[in-house]
């Protein structure tokens, strides 16, 4: 008779699985709570200390860490010396291990959990058994997921020598323990204040297979962090529309980053990772929508829109008139949902925008052969840190506009320029190889908008020449905000003074590559 050792924290389906094993001539060994669960449900089961001849000790910290368990798992069935050793020591083989681990991740996700409570949920015996069984997958089934119970039972019932299945289960088991350890490592590193440890271990769970990547010939998938942020596209709930694409996910992520910087009602419209219109209002989300939409009615076509308040019927009626890929918001009124769901291809998603301050602190960017890690740029520049460097100081209205433009420009790909009023972008120049190119693009867009003055210009980095200031002045810009720091700063200041433009230095660059 073969033997299975079952010890699970998540007991979903375990009774049925154990009964299925018994029907296929397995003896069941178990521990603690699992033993009790199986026994209460009429499953014939042997307690672990009857196998080890040693009691569980240290409040259950030591129960399966024993040669009677691990020798039974690790012995090579085709090695005569191994078999002689088992016979000599009266150790029986274990042919299947069904284990899932203490809920460490679930524990640290709860509010108010102390380090001592978290540490008690670090599983030792479980990973050890999983690793032993996985190493000997040629002879042992290792099952860590209730979703695999049926396929394992089918393989056993059919008496298949299913090496491919056992190897696949072993690989899955090692991924499981690796992720488990990565979560623990991150937790302990965070407790110790280690920002950039000597080894970076990351755990990500499969979320969905994508139809393709950035282009149709590229395969792609979406993985969610093992400890997902509540404010992320991975945590959003999709209400309507087909699955997100690779590019949808990147664009939606960029949109969420923008609106996270605004407490007021805000709407951000994006195309290709860059905002094409951002609008805010002191009270009305509808007015914020109107400002974002009218900022660039052409580029928003086929775009992604993030709305940090509930989408109303009034907004939905206007959204319905144009083609949008995604609308993501905290909620939709029933009337708004009915209107937008009549469009087959639009994706509608909800997310708790109140969790924006709990978004991931660090971001990871892959490069060939490596990984870049940095803090996200969550800084909202402070008026008290600004330095007026020109003879003319900004008016209160201009300063309000400069603050708004500065909040938006850091989300635009470098070289980045934003032309705006106090609450609405009018021209955005992004990703040009020289800064004057971005200035010209942004002003060309602004002139098509026909918006009222005053107009300000925000730059994500310093002006290397005075040509940007000169061009801005010739096209009606009244105030400029930039970090400063160029060896030719004085040339730009002098040009601003020549035209009577106010210029403010922030002392902080906001490159976005």
pLDDT per position as a tens digit, 351-396: 999 888 777 888 899 998 999 999 888 888 878 889 999 999 999 9
- Contact residues for 256 (Cβ-Cβ < 8 A; gap 6+): 231, 232, 233, 306, 328, 351, 356, 359
Q: Where in the chain is the domain with CATH 3.40.140.20?
A: 236-358, 383-505
Q: What is the pTM of this model?
A: 0.86
DSSP reduced 3-state for 374: strand
Least confident of 58-72, 187-201, 334-348: 58-72
Is 240 in the active site?
Answer: no
User: What are the C-alpha distances in Å from 433 to residues 167, 437, 439, 488?
Assistant: 50, 7, 12, 19
CA atoms within 13 A on the CB side of 426: 24
**Average pLDDT value over all residues in the chain:** 91
Q: Give the Cα separation of 29 and 7 in Å (integer).
A: 8
CA-nearest of 260, 314, 268, 265 to 285 is: 265
Q: Is 288 a residue whose pLDDT tops 90?
A: yes
Q: Is 451 a residue whose pLDDT tops 70?
A: no
Mean pLDDT of the 258-267 span: 94
Q: What fold is seen in the domain 236-358?
A: Cytidine Deaminase; domain 2 (3.40.140)
* 158, two tokens: 């059919």
Q: Give the Cα separation of 100 and 402 in Å (integer).
A: 55
Q: Is 246 a residue whose pLDDT tops 70?
A: yes
* 97, two tokens: 């291990």
**Contact between residue 506 and residue 394 where contact means Cβ atoms under 8 Å apart:** no
User: What are the C-alpha distances in Å from 494 to residues 178, 291, 308?
Assistant: 59, 34, 41
Percentage of residues in the chain having pLDDT higher than 90:
71
**Contact between residue 323 and residue 302 where contact means Cβ atoms under 8 Å apart:** yes
pLDDT per position as a tens digit, 72-110: 899 988 889 998 998 899 889 999 999 988 889 999 888
Torsion of CA 114, 118, 119, 124, to 10 degrees: 170
Is 413 in the active site?
Answer: no
Percentage of residues in the chain having pLDDT higher than 70:
99
Of 272, 313, 355, 400, which residue is the catalytic one?
A: 272
| Residue 266: Cβ within 10 Å count | 26
Q: Give the Cα separation of 379 and 323 in Å (integer).
A: 33
pLDDT, residue 447, reads 82
Q: Is 439 a residue whose pLDDT tops 70?
A: yes
Q: Is 278 a residue whose pLDDT tops 90?
A: yes
pLDDT, residue 452, reads 60
Q: Is 459 a residue whose pLDDT tops 90?
A: yes
The 3-state secondary structure of 429-480 reads ECCCCCHHHHHHHHHHHHHHHCCCCCEEEEECCCCCCCHHHHHHHHCCEEEE
CA-nearest of 303, 301, 351 to 328 is: 351
pLDDT per position as a tens digit, 400-413: 999 999 999 999 99
Homologous superfamily of 2-192 in CATH?
A: Methylglyoxal synthase-like domain (3.40.50.1380)
Of 66, 82, 105, 135, which residue is the catalytic one?
A: 135
Q: Is 450 a residue whose pLDDT tops 70?
A: no
pLDDT, residue 347, reads 96
- Which residue is it, tokens 């909040």? 407
pLDDT, residue 270, reads 95
* 63, two tokens: 């129960």
Got the DSSP string for 8-30?
ESS-TTHHHHHHHHHHTTEEEEE
Q: Give the Cα separation of 408 and 266 in Å (integer).
A: 11
Q: Is 466 a residue whose pLDDT tops 90?
A: yes
Q: Where in the chain is the domain with CATH 3.40.50.1380?
A: 2-192
| pLDDT-derived band at 492, boundaries 50, 70, 90 | very high
pLDDT, residue 454, reads 67
Q: Give the Cα separation of 255 and 235 in Å (integer).
A: 15
* 264, two tokens: 């007021």
Mean pLDDT of the 476-505 span: 95
pLDDT, residue 160, reads 74
Hey, what long-range contacts does 406-410 have (CB within 8 A, 24 or more apart)? 406/381, 406/458, 406/481, 406/506, 406/510, 407/261, 407/262, 407/380, 407/381, 408/258, 408/275, 408/278, 408/458, 409/458, 409/459, 409/460, 409/510, 410/377, 410/379, 410/460, 410/510, 410/512
pLDDT, residue 162, reads 86
pLDDT per position as a tens digit, 6-18: 999 889 999 999 9
Q: 383 versus 30: which is more confidently predicted? A: 30
> Between 3.40.605.10, 3.40.50.10540, 3.90.1150.10, 3.40.140.20, what CATH number should domain 383-505 receive?
3.40.140.20
- Contact residues for 131 (Cβ-Cβ < 8 A; gap 6+): 173, 174, 177
Q: Is 141 a residue whose pLDDT tops 80?
A: yes
């Amino acid at each position: 008779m073969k033997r299975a050792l079952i010890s699970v924290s998540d007991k979903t389906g375990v009774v049925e699985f154990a009964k299925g094993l018994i029907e296929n001539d397995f003896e069941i060994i178990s521990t603690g709570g699992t033993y009790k669960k199986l026994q209460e449900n009429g499953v014939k089961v042997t307690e672990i200390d009857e196998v080890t001849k040693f009691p569980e000790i240290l409040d259950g910290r030591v129960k399966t860490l024993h040669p009677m368990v691990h020798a039974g798992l690790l012995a090579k069935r085709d090695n005569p010396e191994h078999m002689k050793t088992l016979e000599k020591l009266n150790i029986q083989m274990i042919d299947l291990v069904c284990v899932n681990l203490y809920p460490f991740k679930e524990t640290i996700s709860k509010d108010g959990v102390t380090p001592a409570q978290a540490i008690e949920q670090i599983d030792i015996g479980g990973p050890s058994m999983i690793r032993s069984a996985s190493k000997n997958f040629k002879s042992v089934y290792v099952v860590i997921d209730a979703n695999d119970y049926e396929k394992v039972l089918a393989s056993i019932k059919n008496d298949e020598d299913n090496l491919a299945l056992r190897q696949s289960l072993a690989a899955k088991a090692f991924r499981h323990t690796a992720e488990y350890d990565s979560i623990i490592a991150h937790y302990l590193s965070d407790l110790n204040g280690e920002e950039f440890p000597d080894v970076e271990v990351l755990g990500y769970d499969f979320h969905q297979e994508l139809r393709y990547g950035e282009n149709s010939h590229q395969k792609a998938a979406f993985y969610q962090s093992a400890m997902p942020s509540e404010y992320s596209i991975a945590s959003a709930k999709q209400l309507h529309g087909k699955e997100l694409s690779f590019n949808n996910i990147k664009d939606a992520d960029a949109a969420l980053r923008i609106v996270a910087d605004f407490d007021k009602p805000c709407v951000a419209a994006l195309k290709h990772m860059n905002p094409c219109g951002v609008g805010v209002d002191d009270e009305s989300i509808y007015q914020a929508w109107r400002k974002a939409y009218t900022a660039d009615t052409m580029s928003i076509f086929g775009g992604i829109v993030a709305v940090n308040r509930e989408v109303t019927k009034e907004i939905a009626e206007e959204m319905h008139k144009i083609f949008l890929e995604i609308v993501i918001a905290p909620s939709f009124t029933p009337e708004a949902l009915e209107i937008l769901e009549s469009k087959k291809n639009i994706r509608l998603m909800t997310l708790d925008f109140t969790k924006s301050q709990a978004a991931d602190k660090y971001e990871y960017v892959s490069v060939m052969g490596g990984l870049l890690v940095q803090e996200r740029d969550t800084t909202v520049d402070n008026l008290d840190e600004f330095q007026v460097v020109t003879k003319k100081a900004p008016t209160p209205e201009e300063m309000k506009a400069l603050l708004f433009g500065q909040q938006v420009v850091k989300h635009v790909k470098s070289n980045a320029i934003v032309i705006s009023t106090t609450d609405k972008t009018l021209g955005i120049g992004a990703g040009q190889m020289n800064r004057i190119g971005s200035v010209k693009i942004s002003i060309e867009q602004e002139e098509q908008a026909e918006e009222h003055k005053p107009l300000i210009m925000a730059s994500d980095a310093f002006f290397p020449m005075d040509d940007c200031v000169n061009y801005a002045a010739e096209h009606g810009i009244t105030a400029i905000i930039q970090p400063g720091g160029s060896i030719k700063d004085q040339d730009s200041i002098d040009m601003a003074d020549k035209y009577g433009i106010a210029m403010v230095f922030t002392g902080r660059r906001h490159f976005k590559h």
